[in-house]
Structure formats: structure tokens, C-alpha cells
Amino acid sequence: MLKSLNIDNYAIISDLHIEWSDSLNIVTGQTGAGKSIILGALSLLSGNKADASFLLDKERNLVVEGEFEIKGYGLESFFEDNDIDYSNDIIIRRQISPSGKSRCFIEDVPVPQSVLSSLAERLIDVHSQNQSLLLSKEDFQIDLLDSIAATQDLRKKCKDLYLEYMSSKIEANNLREEVGSILKEADFLSYQIEQIHALKLSEGDINTLEERLSVIEHSEDIAKALSETYSLLDGQDNSISSTLQTLSKVIRSNGKYMDKLNSLSDRLESSAIELKDISEEADNILSSLSFDEDEKNRVESRLDEIYTIMSKHNVSSENGLLELNAQMKERLQSIEAKQDLLVRLDDNTLRLFNSLSEICNILSDKRKESLSAIEDYVVKSISKLGIEKGKFTISMTSKQPSSNGSDEVKFLFSANQLSPLQPIGKTASGGETSRLMLALKSLAAKSLKLPTIIFDEIDTGVSGAIADAMGNMIDEMSHNMQVINITHLPQVAAKGENHFEVFKMDSRTSIVKLTKQQRINKIAEMISGANISDAAIRQAKLLLGYQ
């Protein structure tokens, strides 16, 4: 529960300290006195947005601090998860600097705003007048239903799965669009790769083919040159080889007269041997030299095929073509990998959808199990609140799975037996909506086991005996939890343990806890106005149970 609230430098509040009781706390005050401002300050502890415009004194920090008793509410794991020491009594603080920077603290430990919000929603529920208007909204209705049916954990699983499913679905659809746009590229790459593969091209093939074609085209000249070479070197009686051998013998025969001639003879003999070897090689080449027109056509055709592909891809060598082929294969593998990934994403999306559908079905069943009890409770409650012939039911129809399940929920109401059930927004008056909201909130409070609930003029639009009945219901809620109730009705204000009056002094909001006599006077004033009559005093005492 909220034990105390300190507000410093917020709006028209300079410095305010409030200590609350653990049961029903009544808050009254003139319109404009600052009751809503106190609620606004409290909302900062719930993680609501704030900026420097909230500062009364623009030169110093805005600080809102609440002390909470949290024993018995199972929050130990929250503190452990967020690495904060647990204590039965904790202090939550929100600080806004003149520059607009916001800081949040739990037990003096700085925490993100999201962590503060997560804790606050487990500690306090603020029901403003706007929430009564929200009762006609389907999103609010399903939230309220889950609060009462205690299906928040299932709802969270549903939301988490839905977000995961949508993320996977969006990723798959984006990839599908990308893959769709590059499938033609993949087909074209496969065609080009196959074309190059069909060449069976290796490094040096072009040089080999060009050389072979050159040999074929000049084979007659080559044969003639080889034949003449052989003939001149070793193919006739007066060939160069035989002439050198003869010269070698002649010179060697005179070597006995001059030693240098022997060396010269050796050189002539070596030359003769080398020329003979050259002539034999020329003869061998000549013997192996053969070609036909078909071979020429084949070589020319293969070179044309290679040159055509090279020209198509704007490369100047077979190495360039081979490198390009490797790059195209890599690109094709990348596309194929994306296709494989798309298959896996589609499988994952389907798996997540099936899991989501399963959780949605379980959630739907749990909601349906609670409908009858909720409807009975609300009908009995609104009967006590003056809608004796009222009817209330919750319609549930199926829809596609979403973050809040696969149910479309509608609260249907009729103020009397003869009128058909219709959506609340179409048939309930303001006063009837307030009473319906109180009935639902009182039921939700039992399910949620929240430490504190705050009602901001939930009794708007009612009076007399109905107001008294609403006060009794609010008082009954305070037996199991802390209730802070802001009201303008004396019948409601007379309930509760503590009564606080909000007022303005020197254009600043203040609050005071009323004494017994002050409370009598305040209730009397709420009954008769500024001029308090004796009858109003008597009525106030009667309402307060002082007689």
C-alpha cells in the first residue's frame, strides 16, 4: 500500500506531504483546488511522461516520492530480476530536472522508466473519470476481463508470441519480396554459368588454340621450311653437317703441327653433331606435322565460341571469364541461401502461428470459464447500486489471433428487463456507466490483489441512496486493500477512516487531514453549501455515524 506521498515543486504544489491509512482514504476539495494535480504527481511514479513544463520553480528539480509497503504481494522476484535489494517497505522516486531530464529510482537505485512502470502497475491502479468513458471501448473491456479472469500471464504469453510471430512474418514477407525480385536474376545467372561451364575452359586454352590454328593455317610454309632445313643440314651429300665433319678431319690431321687446331677441330665436330640433332628434330616435326580442314574448322569454332562469351561479358582473357564465373556462382549461392532462409522463416512463422493459436484457445477457454461468475457479480452489484432490473452480459466471438488473443469481447448492458442488451456505449448513461465501472473494478480488485486503488470521482452522475450504496461498495473494497477515493458526494465522503481536504492557499495547493469536528463541518458543507445549517450538521453526523 501507499504509506506516504511527497510532492516537491510540481505544478502549483510547492511542497506537500501526505500520510495515507491502509483502508479507505477520502479526498475532497473545491473544483480547481488541485486534487487532479495530486493524481498527476502520483502518475509520475507510475512512469508517465513528464518534462520541465511541470516545474513550479524552473530553477530546481521536481521530485515526487512515494513510500510503499509491499509485504505479501510476491514482488521478491521482481526485485531480484532487476538487481535491487528487496525490502517490505520501499521508496519510489521520480525526479525531473530544469533541463527536462527524467530520472527514476527504486530504493535509491536508478532504473529505466519501463522498470518503474512495471513495478507501479503491480502496486497501484488509478481510476480516473476518463476510464469510465473507456468502458465502452473494446480494448479496455478485454483488458478488464483479463484482470478479473486472472489471465494476465496467458495474455502476456499471447502478446509475446504474437510479436514474435509478426516479426517472423514481416521478415519472411520482406525476404519473399526480395527473393521474388531476384528470381529472374537467378535464372539468368544459372544460364550464364552453364554457358561458361559448357566451354570446359582452363587457363592457357586460348593460347594453345590460337597457336594450333596458326600452325594449321601456315602448315605448308612450316613443312617447306622444315624440309629445306633437313635437306641443307643433313639430307644430301654436300650437306652442312657432312661438310663440317670433313673440315674437322682436315684440320685435325694438322693438329700434330699446332695444338690449337685440335681444339678448332673439336668445335667443328660439336657443331656438326648439334646441326645433325637439329636436322633430326626438324625431320621429326615434319613427320608429325599433319592437319585437315575439319580440325581447322573445329579450332576456329571453339575460339569463336570462347571469344563470343568473352565479348558478351566484356572480359579480355579466359582468366577474366573464369573469375567472372566464380563471382556469378557466389551470387547464385547467395540467392539460393536466401531461398533456403525463406523456407526456414516460413516454417518458423507457421510454427509460431500454431503456438499462438494454441495459447489463444487456452486463453479463450479461461475467459469463457469466468464469464458466468462475472456477469452474476455485476448484475447483483448494480442492483445494489439502484439498477435493480439491469442486465449485463459479455459477448465473445472468434477473430484472427492477435496480441490480445482470438476473442472479440463486447460488454452488453440494459438498464431494465424490457430493453434489449446493447453495447455499453450505446445504452448506458453516465451514472450507469460509473456504477458498472465500480462493480467491475471491485471485482477486478479481488482478482488482482493490488495493494492500492485510487478512484477519481467514480461517483459522478449519481446521488442520494445510490451514492450511499456506491460509498458502501467502495468502503467494502477497502477491507481488503487500500482505497483512495476522490469525491464530491457527502454520502461517499462520509465513508472511510481518513478524510483529507485539498485547498488552495496563496495560489498553492495544500492538503490537510480533517479532525472529527472538521469532518462534520465539511460533510455538512457538502450537503448544504457554504451556509451550513443545523439540519446539515445533523445530517452530516448521521452520515458519519456519530449519533
53-62, 223-232, 367-376, 509-518: range with lowest mean pLDDT = 223-232
In a domain? residue 291: yes
In the chain, the number of structural domains is 2
CA terminus-to-terminus distance, the chain: 32
Structural domain of residue 64, as residue ranges? 1-132+451-514
HEC letters along 156-205: HHHHHHHHHHHHHHHHHHHHHHHHHHHHHHHHHHHHHHHHHHHHCCCCCH
**pLDDT above 80 (res 545):** yes
* Predicted TM-score (pTM) above 0.85: no
Residue of 146 and 294 predicted with greater confidence: 146
Confidence at 324, pLDDT banded by 50, 70, 90: confident
- Average pLDDT of the residues in 313-339: 79
Instruction: Say whether both 187 and 327 belong to one domain.
Output: yes
293-307, 384-398, 458-472, 522-536: range with lowest mean pLDDT = 293-307
**Closest alpha carbon to 368 in 330, 406, 402:** 406
The helix, strand and coil proportions of the chain, stated in percent and rounded to the nearest 5, come to: 60, 20, 25
- Average pLDDT of the residues in 353-375: 95
On average, the pLDDT of the chain sits at 86
Going edge to edge, which strands form the sheet with 89-96? Answer: 13-19, 2-10, 62-69, 89-96, 102-106, 109-111
DSSP 114-150: HHHHHHHTTTEEEE-HHHHHHTTSHHHHHHHHHHHHT
- Average pLDDT of the residues in 205-222: 73
The last residue of a domain, from among 336, 361, 388: 336
In a domain? residue 385: no
| Contact (CB, 8 A) for 89 and 69 | yes
Instruction: Say whether both 331 and 199 belong to one domain.
Output: yes
In a domain? residue 86: yes
C-alpha distance from residue 424 to each of 131, 378, 456 (Å)? 13, 13, 21
| Contact (CB, 8 A) for 85 and 79 | yes
109-123, 303-317, 492-506: range with lowest mean pLDDT = 303-317
**pLDDT above 90 (res 203):** no
The last residue of a domain, from among 336, 363, 378: 336
**pLDDT above 90 (res 168):** yes
Domain holding 98: CATH number? 3.40.50.300
Instruction: Say whether both 127 and 208 belong to one domain.
Output: no
Residue of 538 and 280 predicted with greater confidence: 538
217-259 pLDDT, tens digit per residue, is 777 777 787 777 777 877 666 778 778 787 888 888 887 878 8
231 CB-contact burial (10 Å; exposed 0-12 / middle 13-18 / buried 19+)? middle
**pLDDT above 80 (res 495):** yes
